[in-house]
Amino acid sequence: MFGPVVAVLPLSLFLLAGLAVGGVLLVRRVPSTDLTAPVVRARRRGTTVAVLAVALAVALFVLGTSLPQTSLRRTQLIAVVPLAAAALHAAVLLVGELSWPRPAQRVRSARLAVRSVRQDAPRGMLTLFTLACALTWAVCVAGTAMAADDGRSYELVQGPMTSAHGPFPGAFYAGPIALAAAAVVAVTWAVLLRVPQRPAVTGADAVTDGALRRAAAHRALRVSTAGLLGTSAAMLVLGGLAVHGVGGSWGEYVGGTLVEHEVSVPAWADGLAAAVACGGGLLALFALAVLLVPARGIRRLETVR
């Protein structure tokens, strides 16, 4: 009874939220004429990184969808696209942090300031990133424990009848997703370690340089966290739908009389599965909202008064 609602409502909300994200980003964008030169250069660099990461993610998605419909590797590749996009974004950002800014003067100077990951990374976003990692791996473990032997469906056995439904986030999907999540964590942490160590932006004062470092760390954490939360959301939706959809009926003739048998999950389990799927849809919206969280204090520093 809840199947169409569970399937359509999260997708519809996700699409509407995506349109809202695009609109908000356009409205909140500060014109380059209102920014200082160091911030303009940093923004241009960040835009290049984002475009390159998106292009690589789209290429990966196209590669996955180009595989034959019957290929199971196709579904595995599509399942890791959000995390692959986050890892690629962090990797490109790491290359950017390693190669820019480059000191223009022959005689180099540096401010006597002690910088660390704790100082430059936004505490709230870092905490959310940690929780997102834990949630992703927890869902992978739970899905692996609950899945059928094939690792990609949920199986219900009642007496002589067995019913299976999928896709379900078992080991077949959870394994690649867990590895992709580990890659996201490793590359993102490498970015966070690099941000305090890179040279200062030429022409930026101490306050602006600190804000740009926090913005770089925030950018890496924001995209990686959204990728982890989005993947967890997809697994929860698919897992809930699989449990909700499992079951069936069969009949047999006993003494010339048709006796019908039905296998289904208990009503409470069916309701719980629907709640998990809807919760996954809401988590997907939250993952999208994470991409809207601005770096703290950047707007005040960027705008010329």
Question: What's the mean pLDDT when you consider all of the chain?
Answer: 76
Residue 107 maps to a domain = no
pLDDT digits 0-9 by tens, 109-163: 555 555 666 667 788 899 999 999 999 999 999 999 998 888 888 888 776 677 7
CB atoms within 10 A of CB 113: 11
Band (7; pLDDT cuts 50, 70, 90):
very low
- On whether the CB atoms of residues 239 and 169 are closer than 8 A, the answer is yes
In a domain, 10, yes or no: yes
Could you read off the pLDDT of 20-45 as tens digits, one per residue?
A: 655 665 555 555 555 566 666 666 77
Could you give the CA distance from residue 148 to residue 21 in angstroms, rounded to a whole number?
38
Q: Is residue 106 part of a domain?
A: no
Establish if 71 belongs to a structural domain.
Answer: yes
- Domain count across the chain: 1
- Coil vs helix vs strand at 252: strand
62-73 mean pLDDT: 70
User: Is residue 108 in some structural domain?
Assistant: no
Residue 265 gets which letter from DSSP?
-
Q: Give the domain extent around 240.
A: 3-101+115-302
Give, in order, the Cα–Cα distances in Å from 304 to each of 28, 31, 208, 291: 16, 11, 12, 25
Q: Where are the alpha helices (DSSP H) in the chain?
A: 3-28, 37-66, 72-79, 81-99, 117-120, 123-146, 171-194, 206-245, 267-290, 298-302
